[in-house]
Structure 1
Amino acid sequence: MYTKVESRFWQDEKMRTISDDARYLMLYFLTSPHRNIMGFYFLPTPYACFDLGWDEKRFQKGLEELLQTGRVKYDACTHVVLVQNYLKHNPLENPNQVKSAIERLEEMPQTPLFQDFLAVVEQCKKTFIQPLRERLRERLRQPVTVTVTGAVTGDINTHICASACADARDSESNGDFGDERAAGQDPDGSVEAEQVTATSGEQRAKTSKPRPPFKSKKQESLFDQFWQAYPKKKAKGQAERAWAKLQPDEQLVETMLTAIERAKKSEEWRKENGRYIPYPATWLNGKRWEDEYMSSGGGYREYRDEWGID
């Protein structure tokens, strides 16, 4: 997949006022190997740090600068990044691309950034974009479990994500775990003075039940992160059942995601267009995140860093 980066990127006023690291990070967001056709994709911090060769502190510093420019938005709760002008320079050009975009959308966790992405899509007047608009509106109609009051400006994602994460933690401690979504966002990233009343625990239990075979919304969300990252999307039902049986915690999921990224660079997973990549259920049942992989250049590749991956 190719991404068009205009040469005027280097003359852009906002890009000239930020640090070299922030500019480099912007180019990474535009060309990341994890990106999709929408410029709206799943990107956990460990993925980015591994690709860039940075530590988390350096990544967060560059990200904060970019958030201030409004060129990108990042939801740290669900690890989703939105490049605001991606579709402006890399537009969807036909119904098949729209279909592909919807497929990628289905793999993404629920995030407040759906509202921002809808604002981007609304700017496109081509008729074949309509199915994508409709699907985005459907995602936005899912139950609201975040309370937003007053006016918030500046780094919207920091404020909203902190609220959503706190709400999620409270829900888990009470035996609930609902989807998280903020309302009232405009395309510039501000939240109007609006109140969104959270549903009660009993209502959330009725309206936000996890899909079978998951026993909690948290496990459903963690599986969706895994499914987004795994390159061979086959036999999803079997993978879900394997996941429900395993019930990994967040630390193990981070280990899995890092192992998947390491495996994607291996000789075994690269050859013959991924023919030898195991099915997701096979990978989970076999605890394949503990495997060692032959790198494409030969020899074993080890990855140890501050994330605690052996």
Structure 2
Amino acid sequence: MATLNSSNTLSSTFYLTGIPGYEEFHHWISIPFCVLYLVGIMGNCTILHIVRTDARLHEPMYYFLAMLSLTDMGLSLSTMPSVLAVFWFDARHVGLDACLTQMFFIHTLSSVESGVLVAMAFDRLVAICAPLNYTRILTHSTVACLSGAALIRGATLLAPLPFFLRTFPFCGANILSHSYCYYPDVLNLACGDVSFSSAYGLVFVLCTFAVDVVFIITSYMKILGTIMKLKTQDRNWRSLHTCACHICTVLVFYLPLISLAVLHRYTRDASPILYTTMSNAYLLMTPLLNPLVYSLKSQQIQAALRKRFWVQRVIAGE
């Protein structure tokens, strides 16, 4: 419902949604949600710590991994307050400015994460297809430029969206489909002609996620072609194993993201439970699974964790 304040600017209140039909169990459901958030944050903090303290991990691949962890932590911290407020206190009301701010950070950080995944694909492409030039191409300044470009691209392309939404009145119940503010969800509640805003949102998706997916697929086609030219199966396996972590991370990030976008654009009458499941998979599971994937798949990360655990045991024994 929308009201006009003394400054003649539109003031709107939105209503967040938990799990429809299970409101009486929200307190119990909040327990695994809280645990998953904490485990995800602790896992990403661990990755950041070992990359910073272990000199063997001071390489471009692990610098990108550290930025991926920072982005995942940002996504968790952007959504955690509203999600837990809904489940703990049934605090479903959120103002327009707070909603648009949360929306900006969620979509910007998602774009940054996609850009970091592209940078990691480029790192693997150079490492396998041009190993002799790896240190010359992927210098510290290159890593900084790629990371900065991902951040600037996301923030610049996302900046107009909150201003577009502020120009619309919001009528009706203003009930959102998620426990956080998501651009297509908020746009669906706007009254008036939203064609331009919807088109801009589509352009943003095409200029970020679509372009990034094409680059990642192209990179791995080139990587696969290079590996197939190698003579020994052992070298093929070693080369593919270095890419396994990144491929898993790409799937963990893009599959829920694409599914949620398709759900909002083409299935307006889908079950609310489906919306809730996909939205939580998109912003809750990704920060949780990325540290787990690298801890289980990366031998360098495993070695750093074992070394850290051994040092702690030695200190405790003293």
TMscore range, shorter length? under 0.3
Greater RCO, CA 8 A, separation 6+:
2
Q: Which has the higher helix share?
A: 2
Under a length normalisation based on structure 1, what TM-score does the superposition of the two structures give?
A: 0.27
Under a length normalisation based on structure 2, what TM-score does the superposition of the two structures give?
A: 0.26
